[in-house]
Amino acid sequence: MTAAISTKASEQQRINLPGTREEDCFWWKYDKVSEVGTEMAGQEYLQGLLRQQRRFEIEKLLQVPSGIGRLSWLYEHMRQICVELGYYLAQLYRECTERDCPIMRANDTTFYCAGHGNPRPCSAMGYSVHTLDYAVRLLSSGTTFPDRSLIQDSCMKHFQSMVRRLYRIFAHTYFHHREFFERQESATYLYARFVRLARKYELAPESQIIIPDLPTTIEPPTVAK
């Protein structure tokens, strides 16, 4: 009885009580963005959906919930993808070494790194880290995104730039570390979410999406009414 009361109280207060198991942390749910009641409501709502093991329900994750703007929802997804890419690269680092991947390549294409002032060749891991840092700095910029709840149409060019560069991280992993890519994708659906987001918001032309369509990245068929 005490445990049940404590659990109910923690859900109402949104706190992790002492002794809470790691897998049970942050396990409260929101039915609406407005229920969150913080300045980071969109972020908390999205992370709540992901904690409910809904990663494979990508179309539902991308649907804009009531109480948040379409571009603000895009912004929150991009922030969350960058968070998860940080963990992604921390694991990829074990096999994507400077010795094995001294230059950033995706299939037969070589990319120069813009993280050095003047673009120049960079190891695949160095390029990935620099690119992720660039995206995080841009998303955290109070000048570019002064109000995360009201994203302007003019910001689309920044999202397009981020998507173009971040896509290369997935492309390198797919073509040069296939086993790692498939292992991560089966657990997280991160690339599927990323590429479907890019297509939904038209952030990248199809010619730049060079990874073959996977079952998780293909748009579901439209059902005739």
Q: Please report, in range form, the residues annotated as the binding site.
A: 96, 101, 172, 177
Per the annotation, where are the binding residues for Zn(2+)?
96, 101, 172, 177
2/141 Cα distance (integer angstroms):
45
76/41 Cα distance (integer angstroms):
10
Measured from the Cβ of residue 180, the count of other Cβ atoms closer than 10 Å reads 17
Work out the burial of residue 99: count CB atoms within 10 Å of its CB; fewer than 13 is exposed, 13-18 middle, 19 or more buried: exposed
22/138 Cα distance (integer angstroms):
31
SS3 assignment, position 109: strand
Q: Which of 148, 146, 102 is nearest to 125 (CA)?
A: 102
Measured from the Cβ of residue 204, the count of other Cβ atoms closer than 10 Å reads 18
Identify the sign of the CA torsion 127, 130, 136, 140: negative
Q: Which of 19, 10, 54, 14 is nearest to 30 (CA)?
A: 14
